[in-house]
Amino acid sequence: MADDTTGSGSADETPRGADLHVPVLLERTLDLLAPALEKPGAVVVDATLGMGGHSEAMLTRFPELTLVGLDRDTDALRIAGARLEPFAPRVHLVHTEYAGVAAALDSLGIDEIDGILFDLGVSSLQLDQVDRGFSYSKDAPLDMRMDTTRGITAEQVVATYSESELRRIFTQYGEEKLAARYARAIVQQREAAPIIRSAQLVDILSDATPAALSRSGHPAKRVFQALRIEVNAELASLETALPDALDRIAVGGRIVVLAYQSLEDRLVKRELARRSTSTAPAGLPVELPEHRPEFRLLVRGAELASDDEKALNPRATPVRLRAAERIRRAA
């Protein structure tokens, strides 16, 4: 998945061919998961299925692997389901957000898993469908829901949130320095006419941007990111999903997370650091078994895409990869 909300390609039609989506850091992800997924009877969760690119590659490389694919987007489940049809006996697809990982596994009678992949952010499918409203470069209804069957839309957020609430989400989720200015402009403009399309919002933000800052990046980028995160409760979902997923990983199992913006990456970094750090009190002469870390980190810091990967797939440019392996079951 990618976090850049600019969209690309032919966006008026639902993608049908696997060649329309290049999974980010595919080979690196497979190599990191391989030691856990090569064993007979291994189970992996693709917590952000998308169009199934990573899942297809895992099922192909590991012929005895069972895959549980989660996605809140019904279009993604339909497309990925067709793509993964050759592996149908080894595939379980569940309509849920990644925070539903524990409930999904319970529904399938699966207690432990050997691997899990989170490819966070907005998916290529969602970016490339103009009418979903994720892109600030194409005019569309202000929707931004990853699950179009439920929830509040970006249009409703823009129309009903107070100026202070808009400022909060632009600051918190977009890290936007002009949050107060943009919130004020939106509230003023919506009194004159409803803001229902992305082009309207882009014009409002552009007009509210000081000329001196107009060349420092698209004025809508961070606001659109903030609206998307608010609409889909992405950070709250991730905060629930990470500990639940880590609790389900068997000893020797592995997790790989691909993050595309600093907010989600910080959550991942914090949770993996907590699980991979000894809890022994300072000064204790001997580390007792119950204080030993549950996980060990597999990469130093956050791993970035290579120049070759970025050239092959521009959506890999902002990615930060983190990975860990369970080494001990919690007491």
pLDDT tens digit string along 222-232?
A: 999 999 999 99
DSSP per position, 194-242: ---BHHHHHHHHHHHS-GGGTTSS-TTHHHHHHHHHHHHTHHHHHHHHH
pLDDT in tens, 77-125: 999 999 999 999 999 999 999 999 999 999 999 999 999 999 998 766 6
Taking domain 18-125+234-326, whether its CATH number is 3.40.50.300 is answered by: no
Note the pLDDT of residue 21.
66
53 marked ligand binding residue: yes
80-94, 197-211, 268-282: the lowest-pLDDT one: 268-282
Q: What is the pLDDT of residues 140-189, one digit of tens each?
A: 999 999 998 899 999 999 999 999 999 999 999 999 999 999 999 999 99
Buried b (16+ CB within 10 A) or exposed e, 245-263: bbebbbeebbbbbbbbbeb
Predicted pLDDT at 128: 66
- What is the per-residue pLDDT for 281? 67
The pLDDT value given to residue 215: 63
Task: Compute the distance between CA of residue 200 and CA of residue 194 in angstroms, rounded to an integer.
Answer: 9
Return residue ranges of the chain for CATH 3.40.50.150: 18-125+234-326
pLDDT digits (tens, 9 = 90+) for 30-70: 999 999 999 999 999 999 999 999 999 999 999 999 999 99
User: Which two structure tokens, joined as six digits, stand for 278?
Assistant: 């000894």
pLDDT reading at 16 higher than 60: no
CB distance 118 to 94 below 8 Å: no
Weakest mean pLDDT among 145-159, 199-213, 282-296: 282-296
163 vs 218: which has the higher pLDDT:
163
- What residues does CATH 1.10.150.170 cover in the chain? 144-232
How confident is the model over 317-326, as pLDDT tens digits?
A: 999 999 999 9
Give the pLDDT band of residue 234 (cuts 50, 70, 90): very high
Confidence of residue 12 (pLDDT cuts 50, 70, 90): very low
Task: Check whether 54 is labelled as a binding-site residue.
Answer: yes
pLDDT surpasses 90 at 219: no
Nearest to 39 by CA among 60, 16, 18, 63: 63
289 against 106, higher pLDDT = 106
Is the pLDDT assigned to residue 216 strictly greater than 90? no
pLDDT band at 278 (very low <50, low <70, confident <90, very high): confident
Binding site annotation covers 69? no
Strand 320-326 versus strand 249-259 pairing type: antiparallel
Q: Determine the pLDDT at residue 225.
A: 93
Q: Could you tell me the pLDDT band of residue 292, with boundaries at 50, 70 and 90?
A: confident
Give DSSP secondary structure letters for 33-58: HHHHHSSTT-EEEESS-TTSHHHHHH
Mean pLDDT of 285-290: 64
Nearest alpha carbon to residue 283 among 275, 291, 294: 291
CATH assignment of 144-232?
1.10.150.170
Mean pLDDT for the chain?
Answer: 89
Is 133 annotated for ligand binding? no
Residue 307, annotated as binding a ligand: no
